[in-house]
Amino acid sequence: MSLVARISPRRAPLVLLAAVAAAALLDWRWFGGDRWAELVERRVQLAERRVALETARRETVSLAPTKRSVHDAARALRRAEERLPEERELAALLAEVATSARAAGLELLLLRPKPERQAGDHAEVPLEMQVRGTFNETVGFLARIEQLGRLVRVRGVRLDRPERAGARTVLRVTCDASTFRFLGGGRGATTHGAQG
């Protein structure tokens, strides 16, 4: 009796389906194994790229505050450089200080730069000043120094020798002022200071 004769007609579709499944399993490569393997490989690559993209997004979010900080620091440096005279502008700064003293009603007795002192990336340029006038004129002068377009630090203010000059009491005021000059970088040699 033949194999076909032994299979009942009701079971013939099941046997045929089993035969096709067995053929597919036996020759998976011929039936689409390469394509399936390629599809699996591409899905793995896609998952890896999604992870890399998410990592890059997190890094970008974390870098945004740092970029803002760097941008803000660069802007602050540019503003400071605008207020810091270059070395060749020191004479102009001295002229502005003298003009401020006269505008405040003071008599300028002494305005002399002292030797620079280097400290790290900058040099301090000290100035010795002596003026004569009333207390209010002196306060006005110090306020004008603070409003200069350049930074000047004033310290060691000493009020000496009160004298009567008519109806006014005048003082001799001695103080030290400093500006600071960067030692390289930026727009060349620049001078900066802090208010004091």
Domain-by-domain residue ranges, the chain? 9-83, 87-192
Task: Give the model's confidence band at 88: pLDDT under 50 very low, under 70 low, under 90 confident, else very high.
Answer: low
Among 13-17, 49-53, 87-91, 143-147, the least confident range: 87-91
Taking the C-alpha atoms of residue 127 and residue 113, their distance in angstroms, rounded to an integer, is 4
- Joined tokens for residue 139: 């306060």
Answer whether residue 189 shows pLDDT above 90: no
CA torsion, points 135, 138, 140, 141, in degrees to nearest 10? 180
What integer best gives the mean pLDDT of the chain? 78
* Measured distance between the N- and C-terminal CA atoms of the chain, rounded to whole angstroms: 117
Per-residue pLDDT of 20-53, as tens digits, reads: 777 766 665 555 667 777 888 899 999 999 999 9
Beta bridge partners of 174: 130, 158
| Top-level class of domain 87-192 | alpha beta
Spell out a b/e string for 23-48, using b for 16 or more CB atoms within 10 Å of the CB, else e. eeeeeeeeeeeeeeeeeeeeeeeeee
